[in-house]
Structure 1
């Protein structure tokens, strides 16, 4: 059966923004020699190649004052208030860098032509924002200044990077009905105990696409007397025999071409991260 790709449409709300890119099966620049490396495992590489990689649209970080890079704008979470002595429970501060190329300044994007019927008006969209609950003080939102549009009845599942190292933030998973959702998506990111420094274009998350009908599967346990049960046991015995003869049997028999490193056309370095 021929595989057909789903078309994801992205509507940028600011110019020159770093947009998601198709995920690659390659997760590192060089592969060690010898049998058994992870790149020889098709389930591993197929997972790595699922969906798209989401890059950071801004340069930002979270660190102590003495670690702040030159030229940034630093600020604290509204929940991180000083005590009577002027000390903060959380010594680290957030920072962002202005970027006029994407109309980003003072931790906000300028979105033009989206304010009602006045095409000349603009609205502000945060770069980073915060939850207003104490039990979520360790989580921030990274706003993505574009709208996702998937085919009808296809949702987008936002996940941590699959089989890739990220910048140290804990990506909170979320499922969005992106076939109709009219607002930019923001990523909820848990903060680590140490400093973080994220550059424009650095991969921060991954997104895969889920047909809505597959959200809640029906489960069925096959009875021992069922024909499928017999076929499965016979299939297991045949698999064990053939796999002993060819350790790459799964790769030989797998139907999909996705995740096969040797068949990827692109070899750009930025897709290997």
Structure 2
């Protein structure tokens, strides 16, 4: 229920961004001024959101979720979080999404509730303070990452387009390489038997297998490269399908 309560909340009274102007520390954001309807100031926009339960504990898996799921999402992404690992998660968000606004909700609907919103880097500086750490010793946290704006979405689509074009070009270049058939050595047993001396056959057939093995190794290397490209394309398509399904999430999730 805490995750549902976060979406659409106005700026917290603990967040000076709603009243101040310009840039500053603590809960102050980059734009200054009061929150607007677009969610770029302090309040989140109304509508759908993605609830991802808890981010992975391993940093590599967590960074992958941030890059592949949270970064392209055009709507807020909500996660439960633990106080003891909040700083590590905020540092990862700052590395992947340095300009994205992040909301940290602590003990919602309770007497000592708090809501702080800013970029992840500034939130790290805020929660490094001793009084902030004392505040987060207990309780439950909800982490909300704002959705991508129009400019960020356009930049992400441009990167994905270039990546897909590069993959298609590599596949075309790979398919243009035609490996020789496996049973086409330069000399055949019929040519060797034309001399009419069976004793010479073992000596004449010693060298071609070495040449065939080199060709076989080349064919195997090309095959492995094709398989790797196919796996990369399938992985990219699966990631795009996942992002598309998230971006088309219905309001029934709210």
The two structures have a TM-score, normalised by structure 2, of 0.23
Query: As a proportion of its length, which structure holds more strand?
Result: 1
The two structures have a TM-score, normalised by structure 1, of 0.22
Flag the structure with more relative contact order, 1 or 2, with Cα contacts below 8 A and sequence separation at least 6. Answer: 1
Query: As a proportion of its length, which structure holds more helix?
Result: 2
Bigger radius of gyration among the two: 2
